[in-house]
Structure 1
Amino acid sequence: MESPQNPDALQHAMVGKIADYIEHLRGKPSSAPARDAALMCIFDLLGAAAVGIGNIGPRAIRDVIPAVYGDGTNPVWFTGKGSSLIGAAWANSAAAAALDLDDGNRFARGHPGAAIIPVAFAVAHETGATLEDVITAIVIGYEVGISVGAAKTSYGSSGTWTPYGVVATAAALRGTPRGVIEHALAIAGESAPSQAFASAPIPRIPAPEGSAVKEGIPWSVVTGLTALYLAEAGHTGPRNILESQRHYQFPADQVLGEIPHICATYFKPYACCRHIHAPLIALERLLAEHDIVPGGIDGIDVEIHSAGLRISNRPAPENIVDIQYSIPYCLALVSLYGRESLLPLTADALGRADVLALAGKVTLSLSPALDAVYPQDILACVTIRVGDQHFSSGPTAPEGEPLMSWDALEEKFKTATRFVATPSRIEEMLGAIRSLRSGDAAPLEHVLADLKLG
């Protein structure tokens, strides 16, 4: 898209370019690859939300939304209840992000889907948007959010950049005028959760305690939607925010939508931080290839990029969120109980004596070579020590990127939801997704509004 040409507009060229992109693309069919990727992202996120609804964070949010955002008919997924647009989007985002099973993008270094997809569904419920309009809005939201996240000059947790994607998604479905979109993006960017503690550079002393706040994704939904409403009411924001070279550096040849970012989405085979996935894959392969008995392991050495050392990595987690950000504990858990122990992660995983003992034998170190290629490549090397034998992996990448096959997503869904849904309910949800793929959203709308899980 061309940048604005008048002198004032040149001072906020990037928000203008983004607003142009939203205005130009909304209401138009997405390309076949982007459409299929969006449908996959919906499927994957609904599985994450289904297994996350019982978590303490989503439960607390559902308890307070009637007082904070009122009642309404907008579905709070898998509860049989409703709320206002913001209340429903907030609650559904919280459920989707709770167990770190939601999708992500490595260049933005975070998770777009848990913010964008709940917003698309909540706004569509209010506007009566068609399925194709919803898909296009999701594609737009991923494109904008990831572009901004990737342009940040320093690391910021997902909630620091997902409000841009939230504004883009909602504005696409609401038909918000271009000039208003500019201010909404600016308000959202300046009002986004700072996540200053979670986003601080390493070494972080102390490392953040695991909590339901996590990466601020649900609150970014509230921020982004509120920013759009404020802009539509005449509120203004600093539209030159994305021109700040201190905070953002966009490529000189930035073209939104040329190769849709949504097509590079990754999906997670484990309910934990993406930085843990490469070590887990390497570990599983070593265990299988060499018939290693976990009880005989004397040590596990992990070489990884610096971002993998940013997470808390507590060998003795105090809560489930701590587990999601602990390479030592996740490796020990999977060594002893298999990958299904992280699909999903449950309270039973916490405080196991055998896991704690093995986690204490895990050492982490920075690999300059692996750090040099991050985030273009996300790699880890693992060595398992058994007596005087050392079994080492080469540089290993995580699974699930880009995307997964539909069959793999279905297997993931079945495994992840086995504790919260009966086989018949799982099949009902899968049937609704199959109908969605064929263009019929009605069965999924029914599932999200009326099916109770947990």
Structure 2
Amino acid sequence: MSNPLIRLAEAAAHWNNCPLPEEVDWQTRRTILDWFGSMLPGCLDGPGPALAKVLASGRGEGRAISYVDGSVGTSRHAALLNGVTSHTAEFDDIFRDGGYHPGSPTISAALAVAQDVGASGDAFRRAVIGGYEVGCRIAIALQPSHYRDWHITATVGTIGAAVSTAMLLGGTADTIAHAIAISTSFAGGHQENLQGLGNTKPLHCGHAAEAGVLAGLAATAGVTGSLDSLHAPHGYAAASSDTTGNWQAALDGLGEWTPITRMTFKNHGCCGHIFPTLDGVRTLQSQVGFQTDDIHSITVRGYGPTAAICNRMTVETARDARFSVQYCVGALLTIGRVRMEAFTPEALARDDIRAIMPKVVVVEDAEIAAAYPSRRMARLRVELTDGRVLDHFQETRKGDPDDPLTDEELVEKYDELAAVALGDQDREGLKQQVLFGTDLPMALTIAPRTA
């Protein structure tokens, strides 16, 4: 087997100078717009604002923007805060085949470094593509066993961020390779702080972004790592999964397709493992037209994480709610969709949502579990109070590459999320800059909308 780390570094370096296909450029712009939409609500809610205050003395000298407070400082400082804020509202993108959210750590790092060094918009987008290329393919190599104990966005995100950093700093394939090697020693974040109590999870992505920037800076300064760090018997794959990595699957199609063209953009503001259930319930309701009072029970048969992570009856916070099949089904049936309004204090206190939750049962289905992570499916059985039984097999998720959000749907999602933090002029200006501009996105005025 050829060295996967070397091959991935060479693939990333290729993106710095190759002709950029129109489809790849457009999908990258869509991805960056989705990152901004997902990031902006976290500037007002969650751990980001508090962290910005306690870390203010350490922002240092630089030109990278921390959007949560509008300050400028070092790329590491901005990457950390933007990584936290972009993973707070749980709207960030997904690479389905790796069960990985690349945008939060990778774009947070790439934008911070690009701003700090004054890179062009083109160089920034190319670094995002390269970071996604490496991170998403490593996620394939580690899954599904890695996810049993590790939060893959926290771990692999560190590597994607390192790649983007090294690319923006002018790194050769050799420099990028050492950035990958170094970053594998920084990559961490375990499942208890994803599944358990507390709100550490967004910090996973902030740490990944910052640590990735550190790895990229170190490699550019001449620090080296073991180039066998990914696949060696004591390397990262062996330490964090059941094998030394499925590198044949990870490298399949390298040079023929790139992961940023196969992203999932979230259509619901909750854990992606809940999406097939929500899409299936919506389909059944549109076909039959039942109301909440008509429901006797709903049985959800899903894959492993659907049951292990999202079978959650105890919901006290918005974070709990975003990881509860029961709550999200209740919100869908009462509010009509699972977006920002589903997780407000008012929504969390609604009796009609709570009344539906005990009617929802979640179990693992062996056949569906065997197809994970490349397929995300659910079998639903809805029993109505009049005796009717409705069965539905949901084979796709809205937003996945085989059922993607259109440009119009993606912009509508961005407009909704960005309106939480930006006025109309800033929101529209940012959208035009990201989708059609040539320069880097820069400072924004963050303020809650009053109307």
Same fold (TM over 0.5): yes
2:373 to 375, 378, 401: 375
- Report the equivalent of 1:51: 41
Describe the SS at the equivalent of 2:362: strand
409-418 vs 108-117, greater mean Cα deviation: 409-418
Q: CA separation in 1, counterparts of 2:108 and 2:342? A: 20
Q: Is the 8 A contact 1:210 1:319 kept in 2?
A: no
CA gap of 1:210–1:298, structure 2 versus 1, over 3 A, is: farther
2:291 to 290, 293, 303: 293
Deviations 1:225-284 (A, max 9, x none): 112223334434332121136342211764534201100000011111111011001111
- Report the equivalent of 2:211: 223
- Report the equivalent of 1:137: 127
Q: Please, which runs of 5 or more residues in structure 1 have no aligned partner?
A: 4-9, 200-206
Q: Is the 8 A contact 1:271 1:343 kept in 2?
A: no
| Alignment pair present for 1:161 and 2:167 | no
CA gap of 1:325–1:133, structure 2 versus 1, over 3 A, is: same
189-198 vs 94-103, greater mean Cα deviation: 189-198
Q: Is the 8 A contact 2:328 2:338 kept in 1?
A: no
1:176 to 165, 171, 174: 171
- Report the equivalent of 1:273: 271
Q: Is the 8 A contact 1:107 1:376 kept in 2?
A: yes
Q: Please, which runs of 5 or more residues in structure 2 have no aligned partner?
A: 233-237
Q: Is the 8 A contact 1:272 1:342 kept in 2?
A: no
User: Which amino acid in the other structure matches residue 208 of structure 1?
Assistant: G
1:95 to 85, 110, 124: 85
Describe the SS at the equivalent of 1:383: strand
- Report the equivalent of 1:80: 70
Q: Is the 8 A contact 1:210 1:322 kept in 2?
A: no
| Alignment pair present for 1:188 and 2:178 | no
Matched positions, count: 430
Q: CA deviation at 1:72?
A: 4.2
Q: CA separation in 1, counterparts of 2:263 and 2:135? A: 12
2:245 to 238, 244, 248: 248
Q: CA deviation at 1:451?
A: 1.8
Root-mean-square deviation over aligned CA pairs: 2.3
Q: CA deviation at 1:149?
A: 0.9
User: Which amino acid in the other structure matches residue 167 of structure 2?
Assistant: A
CA gap of 1:356–1:219, structure 2 versus 1, over 3 A, is: same
Q: CA separation in 2, counterparts of 1:186 and 1:85? A: 20
User: Which amino acid in the other structure matches residue 135 of structure 1?
Assistant: R
Q: CA separation in 2, counterparts of 1:182 and 1:242? A: 11
2:348 to 347, 350, 359: 350
Describe the SS at the equivalent of 1:243: coil
Q: Is the 8 A contact 2:62 2:116 kept in 1?
A: no
| Alignment pair present for 1:451 and 2:448 | no
Describe the SS at the equivalent of 1:328: helix
User: Which amino acid in the other structure matches residue 451 of structure 1?
Assistant: T
2:305 to 307, 319, 323: 307
CA gap of 1:49–1:251, structure 2 versus 1, over 3 A, is: same
| Alignment pair present for 1:208 and 2:205 | no
| Alignment pair present for 1:239 and 2:227 | yes
Q: Is the 8 A contact 1:52 1:97 kept in 2?
A: yes
- Report the equivalent of 2:414: 413
- Kindly, what percent of the aligned residue pairs are identical? 24
| Alignment pair present for 1:27 and 2:17 | yes
Q: CA deviation at 1:43?
A: 0.8
Q: CA separation in 1, counterparts of 2:88 and 2:77? A: 16
Q: CA separation in 2, counterparts of 1:82 and 1:76? A: 6
